[in-house]
Amino acid sequence: MVGGYKPQRSFWLLFLLLLIGAMVGDALGVLLIPVLPILKNTTSVGLAPTTVDLHFIRITLGFTLTLGPLTALGLLLGYFLYRKL
């Protein structure tokens, strides 16, 4: 920080790093589950798909986040990388 100036970091950069970290962690989890079965433990949170039908448009909203140990580690590493930038 020079002269009290703190650089602005983008929300989209944080989102991208978290997304990449989660994807890499999940991929590692899938590869390592046969070797370490404890990595199979996951938790799912989210909203079930809900549909709004207005006869001329149908909108379906919902999401599910499945979080495993290596996915959580990937999210943390993505956040720490964001903090270092």
DSSP track, 24-74: HHHHHHHHHTTT-GGGG--EEEEEEEEEEE-SS-EEEEEEEEEE-HHHHHH
pLDDT recorded at residue 4: 59
Q: How many domains does the chain have?
A: 1
In this structure, is residue 67 part of a structural domain? yes
Express each pLDDT in 30-63 by its tens digit. Answer: 899 899 888 888 888 899 999 999 999 999 999 9
Decide if 45 is inside a domain. yes
Residue 57 domain boundaries:
11-84
For the chain, percent of residues with pLDDT exceeding 90: 58
pTM: 0.72
Instruction: Give the model's confidence band at 6: pLDDT under 50 very low, under 70 low, under 90 confident, else very high.
Output: low
Residue 19 has pLDDT above 90, yes or no: yes
Would 27 be classed as within a structural domain? Answer: yes
In the prediction, which pLDDT does 78 show? Answer: 94
